[in-house]
């Protein structure tokens, strides 16, 4: 399981917030110190979630580890603020009202059956053909959905598949775990 010390969590959350602030002021990504590049150089999948008054305000991430953690946080933070198509761009005057949450992901594992999914522990990627969607583990606890409802919302609402596609043996289900931490915690 992925774990970061409380000092690391604070540092990574500060990196996420600073990335957004810098980009809004300068319209470019901030430069990273060699120390942070070395310390957070291991690749991880990561999502940056922005909330305003407890409500989702933006969420963008990389499911698969492709870049060093520092770079992924830099990019997902800015994209959560300015690139989530569900929301208007974050304005500088909103920053004080936003809470940053980071979800650092473990590698994906294919499951043989939906019964192998543990709600609240596993995030899930559903994939069929060219359609796919993902829910982070915290979606299950935040919504209170049972497993069939969770999977139906994932298929229909996120992947654009029929709601019952998760029952089809040709639909791939993959799980991952996330180490989630927030400015609120």
Q: How far apart are CA 44 and CA 66, in angstroms?
A: 7
Residue 94 tokens read as 């909103």
Is residue 42 assigned to a domain? yes
Average pLDDT over residues 127-149: 93
Q: Select from 101, 99, 102, 90 the least CA-distant residue to 54.
A: 99
Residues 45 and 10 in one domain: yes
pLDDT digits (tens, 9 = 90+) for 4-46: 999 999 999 999 999 999 999 999 999 988 898 999 999 999 9
Kindly compute the dihedral angle of the four CA atoms of residues 11, 15, 21, 23, in this order, to the nearest 10 degrees.
Answer: 170
Residues 15 and 93 in one domain: yes
- Give the predicted TM-score (pTM) of the model: 0.86
Question: What whole-number percentage of the chain has pLDDT above 70?
Answer: 99
Residues 94 and 113 in one domain: no
Residues 98 and 16 in one domain: yes
> What is the CATH classification number for the domain harbouring 19?
3.30.700.20
From 105, 123, 151, the end of a domain falls on 105
Is residue 90 assigned to a domain? yes
Residues 84 and 27 in one domain: yes
Residues 101 and 113 in one domain: no
Is residue 182 assigned to a domain? no
Residues 28 and 53 in one domain: yes
Residues 49 and 93 in one domain: yes
Q: How far apart are CA 154 and CA 176, in angstroms?
A: 15
Q: How far apart are CA 22 and CA 2, in angstroms?
A: 28
Q: Centre a 10 Å sphere on the Cβ of residue 133 and count the other Cβ atoms it contains.
A: 19
Q: How many independent structural domains does the chain possess?
A: 2
pLDDT digits (tens, 9 = 90+) for 42-70: 999 999 999 999 999 999 999 989 999 99
Is residue 92 assigned to a domain? yes
Average pLDDT over residues 146-152: 96
Q: Select from 141, 150, 143 the least CA-distant residue to 173.
A: 150
> What is the CATH classification number for the domain harbouring 171?
3.30.1490.150
Radius of gyration of the chain (CA): 17
Instruction: Identify the domain containing residue 97 by its residue range.
Output: 6-105
DSSP 43: B
Residues 146 and 92 in one domain: no
């Amino acid at each position: 399981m992925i774990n970061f010390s409380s000092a690391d969590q604070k540092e990574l959350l500060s990196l996420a917030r600073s990335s957004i602030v810098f980009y809004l002021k300068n319209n470019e990504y901030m430069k990273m110190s060699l120390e942070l590049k070395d310390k957070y150089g291991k690749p991880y999948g990561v999502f940056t979630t922005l909330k305003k008054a407890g409500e989702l305000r933006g969420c963008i991430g990389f499911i698969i580890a492709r870049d060093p953690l520092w770079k992924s946080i830099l990019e997902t933070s800015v994209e959560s603020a300015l690139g989530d198509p569900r929301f208007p761009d974050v304005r500088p005057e909103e920053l004080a009202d936003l809470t940053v949450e980071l979800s650092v992901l473990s590698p994906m594992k294919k499951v043989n059956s939906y019964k192998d999914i543990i709600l609240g522990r596993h995030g899930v990627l559903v994939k069929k053909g060219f359609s796919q969607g993902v829910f982070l583990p915290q979606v299950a606890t935040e919504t209170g959905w049972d497993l069939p409802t969770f999977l139906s919302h994932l298929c229909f609402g996120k992947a654009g598949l029929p709601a019952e596609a998760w029952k089809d043996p040709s639909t791939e289900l993959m799980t991952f775990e996330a180490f989630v931490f927030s400015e609120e915690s």
